[in-house]
Amino acid sequence: MFLIAGLGNPDKGYAGTRHNIGFDVIDKLAEQEKIRVIERKHRAVIGKGMIEGVKVILAKPQTYMNLSGESIRELADYYKIDTRSELLVISDDISLPPGQLRIRKKGSAGGHNGLKNIIAMLGHDEFQRIRLGVGEKPEGYDLADYVLGHFDAKERKLADEAVEEAADAVRAVLAKGADAAMNRFNRKHC
């Protein structure tokens, strides 16, 4: 079984913000794969189904971004998920331009508080992740205000395309493994 967790904030006011792009990917996968993500368990909204012949749990932690690891730890413990090989976390990344994504098998939090909390709660950083670019914060902006803000029209188009691509990347990780998915999706956009 694979736990696929998209990061975001639960209140409706955060919908469509840069920080909630992980939730957007879970919503896209749920729609495409006909998985109902409506069950409330372990401080998350989850849905169970099959993607690429693999049993999956799609999860949107409801603990707010900075405590995402608490929900993910509970889900992993309850469902006996090997977090080194059966966890895939989807998050925003300000170091990547809008529309770009990166798949990694492990790594630091890179300043992302949600990833930082997951690493703290799991006790390791060796979990797979897909990071979607939301662009660097403009000079003079507060980081929290920036990531909790909405995309402009041009960025939204790129973000929507990246959400579609990230859903395809999840399927590639499940079907062929992270290395094959990295070879296919970790490229520079022109």
- Active-site entry in 19, 112, 150, 189: 19
φ, ψ for residue 131, nearest 5 deg: -110, 130
Query: What span, in angstroms and rounded, lies between the C-alpha atoms of 182 and 45?
Result: 28
- Contact of 26 with 49, CB cutoff 8 Å: no
Task: Write the DSSP assignment of 26-77 as a string of letters.
Answer: HHHHHHHHT----EEETTEEEEEEEETTEEEEEEEE-S-GGGHHHHHHHHHH
150 in catalytic set: no
Q: How many CB atoms lie within 10 A of CB 77?
A: 11
Token pair listed for 18: 């840069």
List, by residue number, the catalytic residues.
Answer: 19
